[in-house]
Structure 1
Amino acid sequence: MSNEQDFSGLIQALASENKRFEAAEKLIDAGSSAVEPLVSALKFDNWRVRGNAAWTLGEIGDARAVNGLVEALDDSVPEVRATAGRALVNIGRPSIGPLLKLIEKRDCRAKGLVSCILSCLGVDEAQRSIPKPA
């Protein structure tokens, strides 16, 4: 699959019970060239597309997906939030900074999930509460 390849058909197939695995495999095979279209798919109306896009991004493991996946932690569908969290764990260390910023927000609905993700990434409670320099 070339960089100019149109990923829209594969991304739409992420909503299909019959085609989602094949579509995800092709997107994973495309690697970094599929990251931007998949990050955009995290905002689609269909929650299955959002969840499967998050899963696929986690399998690709590209740090450029971190900000979109962090935003997906606030998704209205619990399955999408959980899948985005798993993807952030798969991506690893690049996820830590944005997650620490998110957990500092008073209105963060996903604080429990973010704490769990940070724990999976090896960030303990003490490290999360270290005051940041002004």
Structure 2
Amino acid sequence: MKIKFKQDRETILKILESASIMRKLRVLDKLNGVNEKDSIKILLKVLEDNSWCLREKAAYKLVQYGKKVVPRLNRLLKRGYWFTRAAACITLGEIGDIKALNAVITLLLNDENPTVIKEAKTALIKIAEKNPDEFSIAVQEMEIEKDMLARILLIIEQNAPELYRQIKLKISNE
């Protein structure tokens, strides 16, 4: 079946409900014919798909929309399945918006799924790398206990020692 991508969002969402991963991948590859608002809605919906391949592809495609998708991704961190939360973390890390920090840290400290925790750690580090100064200020302003802050800093120290030194210095000076 030949798929026309100038179709309305509902038709595309119906195609994405099919069992064929190849068909779904073709839809994702050709979303350019759909307006931005609908593309975002479709990609967010794909983050809830059972296929990791599709979720990962959608996660990286969402990055191009930047900060405008952060609030919706933050909501997915609170209500999605574990695989949706993990995929949302990938996108949030790549975008690197400090507005995602609170949701990512909450997930990191409270989620029980190892894949989600791994992706939340990666997102945390990428957000910190994009703007260490903003990160340092934001993490200090968060209402978290000192031992939780220590856990966050330990994660950064173990994964990005130079970044940790930079953040620690900034926190010490304030």
Shorter-chain-normalised TM-score: which range?
0.7 to 0.9
Residues 1:14 and 2:47 aligned together: yes
Please list every run of 5 or more consecutive structure 1 residues that lacks an aligned counterpart in the other structure: none
State whether residues 7 and 37 of structure 1, in contact with CA within 8 Å, keep that contact through their aligned partners in structure 2: no
Find the aligned partners of 1:112 and 1:78 in 2 and give their Cα distance. Answer: 16
C-alpha deviations, 1:86-128, integer Å up to 9, x for none?
11111121333454577x62674x954541225523238x759
Q: Which amino acid aligns with 2:165?
A: V
C-alpha deviations, 1:1-46, integer Å up to 9, x for none?
54x5574432231233142133113211111111111111111240
C-alpha deviations, 1:18-75, integer Å up to 9, x for none?
4213311321111111111111111124001111101110011111111111111121
Partner of 2:103 in structure 1? 68
Residues 1:58 and 2:100 aligned together: no
Find the aligned partners of 1:113 and 1:62 in 2 and give their Cα distance. Answer: 17
Cα gap change, 1:100/1:86 in structure 2, threshold over 3 Å: closer, same or farther?
A: farther
Find the aligned partners of 1:67 and 1:11 in 2 and give their Cα distance. Answer: 20
Residues 1:77 and 2:113 aligned together: yes
Aligned residues: 130
What's the secondary structure of 2:165's corresponding residue? coil
Find the aligned partners of 2:140 and 2:121 in 1 and give their Cα distance. Answer: 13
Structure in which a larger fraction of residues adopt helix: 2
State whether residues 153 and 164 of structure 2, in contact with CA within 8 Å, keep that contact through their aligned partners in structure 1: no
Q: TM-score, structure 1 length as denominator?
A: 0.73
Structure 1 residue 82 displacement after superposition: 2.1
Q: Which amino acid aligns with 1:15?
A: E
Cα gap change, 1:6/1:43 in structure 2, threshold over 3 Å: closer, same or farther?
A: farther
RMSD in angstroms over aligned alpha carbons? 3.2
Please list every run of 5 or more consecutive structure 2 residues that lacks an aligned counterpart in the other structure: 1-34
